[in-house]
Amino acid sequence: MKLLVAIFSLAGISMAVKGQLKKDYPIQPVAFTQVQVTDNFWAPKIRVNAETTIPYTLEQCKKTGRIDNFRRAAHTLPGDKMTEYTFDDTDVYKVIEGASYSLQMKKDLALERYLDTLIAIIGAAQEKDGYLYTFRTVNASQPHAWIGARRWEEEEDLSHELYNSGHLFEAAVAHYQATGKRNLLNIAVKNADLLVKTFGFGKEERFPGHQIVETGLTKMYRVTGNRSYLDLAKFFLDVRGPGKKYSGEYNQSYKKVTAQHEAVGHAVRATYMYTGMADVAALTGDTQYLHAIDDIWQDVVEKKLYITGGIGATGNGEAFGKPYDLPNMSAYAETCAAIANVYWNSRMFLLHGDAKYIDVLERTLYNGLLSGVSLSGDRFFYPNPLMSMGQHQRSAWFGCACCISNMTRFLPSMPGYIYAQNKNDLYINLFAGNTANITLPAGKVTLIQQTNYPWDGKIAVTVHPAKAMQFNLHIRIPEWASGKPVPGNLYFGADSDAKQPPVILVNGEQVTYKMEKGYAVLTRNWKKGDKVSFEFPMETEKVLASDSVASDRNRFALQRGPIMYCLEGPDNKDAVVQNIVVDKSAAVNAVYRPDFLNGVTVLEMQGTAASRQLNTDQLISTTQMVTAIPYYTWANRGPSEMTVWIPYEASAARPKPAPTIASKSKVSASTPNKRMYMALNDQYEPLNAQDKNSLYLHWWPKHNTLEWVQYDFDQEYTVSGSQVYWYDDSPFGDCRIPASWKILYKQGDQWIPVKQLTPYTVTKDKYDSVQFEPVKTTALKLEIQLPAENASGIHEWIVK
């Protein structure tokens, strides 16, 4: 009973503080705690997160030493050996945040007690003045290279001291709101007070190297009402800019934040910063940031957004690429970036009330975000590519586990994106079976949404106001339902005919409505039991990309409702999909399969498969049935070929290799990553040395070593020539063409250098060829001397 009194008492304090906030977003989300999801799509995923992912991630934090970091910093555990990264503390914070959200949905006393134990361990590691950063406090005999000699010294680069604080603040707020307990909140307040004392103009004038502390501070302000936290969040934005040691595009400090108008650098840092800019603008009423983030949003949706909603095209810096540079095989599209993209677009909607932001949010949510976790809840993706030759597979854990803990904290909060309100304007943004209890100025209202979305477009919303009352119901009409895949002109439907707006019925009778910013607005005096029903056309759409996106030319992507599709090996002939061609006019049949991949709609169509032949450029084309599955479900059956963008011209396909000496060989190499071996003999012609849509084998991070690859033939052959196409990702990557190379052949148990007839050349962006005296052998070895300061790699190795 005392606990309940404490919870209600503290909740009352929080609500009182909330009432004192003078400014905030004009539109407010309906908290996920007021929305109980009951559907067959999201409810099972939230349940798997609670029952599998959260316990699994907590256990991994224990096994990998992340919890021991705190014990060692508190000197309750001997030794000073820490984990790999200075931000590993945040994985513990993020899992506490996710577990707290889960507790808000369903009480679990055992989990709550375990969190209390964790919080005590965290508190013991905090220094007296509030500093909490285990990698420094442990006082290791050999300190981590990133932390610097004194506090904050390397913050603008790699120390992540403020990044750790930001995730601590978010976890503390979530835990306090879930349990009413102040044990973690008190730790956070002590740390936040230290930051307020330390940072500011005329004090430590440093910006966070990795943004997140800004949104953490705004959450702390909302809960405590302490204005200094909001002021500090604004300072961290305003102090960011050129002239510092680590200023640059990578961490969005190449210009003042208000002077930035395009998305550059590390995609997660960037979108966390844009989210923080929106928060500070809303809470202070200072709109100076809005012009910048409005322009940046436009830059992303027009030039830098994957059709899956993923952002961050390149692994080099985990960053946004150049405009329209959206490679598929090497797409980074980090899971953390997808989550941050949802946060950012949610804020943009709360600022502007425009459905276009929810269109992007929904696309990201169902595709590029959801793909980050397996159906089982215990296997994960860090990058989310749009094409694979089988070199990608889900992992049980990562050394850098940010995406795993981020997914853990995000999924329980998903119901909080379904509804929003602004006075007596009530928004339905997402479609999922649920029951929501909402308080408007006009009174309380319960909404019951019934739907089998995203597999079915029929939606019914029953309205139960506590009393008859008038309010405006805004129903989002997704852009995909009107034939437009996303806002902007980056992607468009192959069928350019505009779709008719949906018919909306109230109590079975058609009603007229007006459209405002992408919403159908119904204004009426609502009575208990009023039923709103409508249906979106669940037609399969073939989506094309702007011709400026070179990677997607002569290809289409399949979309049905909010779901993007892909072809995956297990569902198609010979487990090969890169050689498939489907005509743009091909009929597509949608079939719901309840027992497949936890219940999904698959798409079936006729296509052809292309295969190469020996000694000719003519391709063999055979007809076959082609099956597509939802993109978010791929790689749940092990590594395999996959593609989102399907060729409709044979020239865009990768024909099945011809049965050459190389393609029939067994590959081995001095790098243990066997998933790269298939690059050597896939017969794909790279566009250039750094073609990221081509497979390649590399030896990074090795430098100045002698490496090798080997072909063991299927029988003895006489060979007299070889060609090699090198991988070189200069100027930004670390791979360069090699210092030298040579060919050896196997004779008995010996490796003998071939007697060359032409010199070994080393060139970039073309094949290097060597002719040698014919040898009869069962194997060839290619030896490569790596450059003194770089690694090297290979796209293709041909034997003649």
**Which residue is it, tokens 């540079």?**
325
pLDDT class of 767 with cuts at 50, 70, 90: very high
Contact indicator for 67, 76 with CB cutoff of 8 Å: no
Q: Hey, what are 730's tokens?
A: 């200069």
Numbered ranges of CATH 2.60.120.260 in the chain: 666-799
- Digit-coded pLDDT (tens) for 105-125: 889 999 999 999 999 999 999
**Cα separation of the two ends of the chain:** 82
The DSSP output letter for 249 is T
Is 501 a residue whose pLDDT tops 60?
A: yes
Question: Which of 203-207, 310-314, 395-399, 614-618 is predicted with the least confidence, judged by mean pLDDT?
Answer: 614-618
Numbered ranges of CATH 1.50.10 in the chain: 2-417
- Digit-coded pLDDT (tens) for 661-689: 999 999 999 998 888 898 999 888 898 99
Specify the CATH superfamily of domain 666-799.
Answer: Galactose-binding domain-like (2.60.120.260)
* pLDDT at 797 (0 to 100): 97
Element spanning 601, H or E: strand 600-613
pLDDT class of 14 with cuts at 50, 70, 90: very low
The DSSP output letter for 310 is -
Distance CA 784, CA 724 (A): 11
Numbered ranges of CATH 2.60.420 in the chain: 421-476+500-535
Element spanning 282, H or E: helix 267-284
pLDDT class of 11 with cuts at 50, 70, 90: very low
Task: Identify which of 629, 602, 797, 695 has the alpha carbon closest to the alpha carbon of residue 328.
Answer: 695
Quick check: pTM over 0.85? yes
- Digit-coded pLDDT (tens) for 529-557: 999 999 999 999 999 999 999 999 999 99
For 99, phi then psi, to 5°, come to -65, -35
Distances (CA, A) of 450 to 82, 527, 535: 50, 18, 12
Contact indicator for 707, 783 with CB cutoff of 8 Å: yes
CATH level 3 topology of 421-476+500-535: Maltose phosphorylase, domain 3 (2.60.420)
Task: Identify which of 604, 553, 594 has the alpha carbon closest to the alpha carbon of residue 452.
Answer: 594
pLDDT class of 17 with cuts at 50, 70, 90: low
* pLDDT at 496 (0 to 100): 65
- Residues 296-304 have a mean pLDDT of 98
Measure the CA angle with vertex 429, ends 423 and 432; round to 5°. 125
Residue 188: strand pairing partners = none
The DSSP output letter for 240 is -
Distance CA 277, CA 616 (A): 58
* pLDDT at 299 (0 to 100): 98
CATH level 3 topology of 2-417: Glycosyltransferase (1.50.10)
* Average model confidence (pLDDT) across the chain: 94
- Residues 145-163 have a mean pLDDT of 97
* pLDDT at 16 (0 to 100): 41
Burial environment of residue 424 by CB neighbours within 10 A (0 to 12, 13 to 18, 19 or more): middle
The three-class DSSP label of residue 435 is strand
> How does DSSP assign 138-188, residue by residue?
T--SS--TTS-SSTTTTTTTT--HHHHHHHHHHHHHHHHHHH---HHHHHH
Is 26 a residue whose pLDDT tops 90?
A: yes
Spatial neighbors of 44 by CB under 8 A, at least 6 apart, are: 598
Distance CA 709, CA 724 (A): 11
**Percentage of the residues of the chain whose pLDDT score is greater than 90:** 89
Q: Hey, what are 513's tokens?
A: 């409505």
* pLDDT at 246 (0 to 100): 95
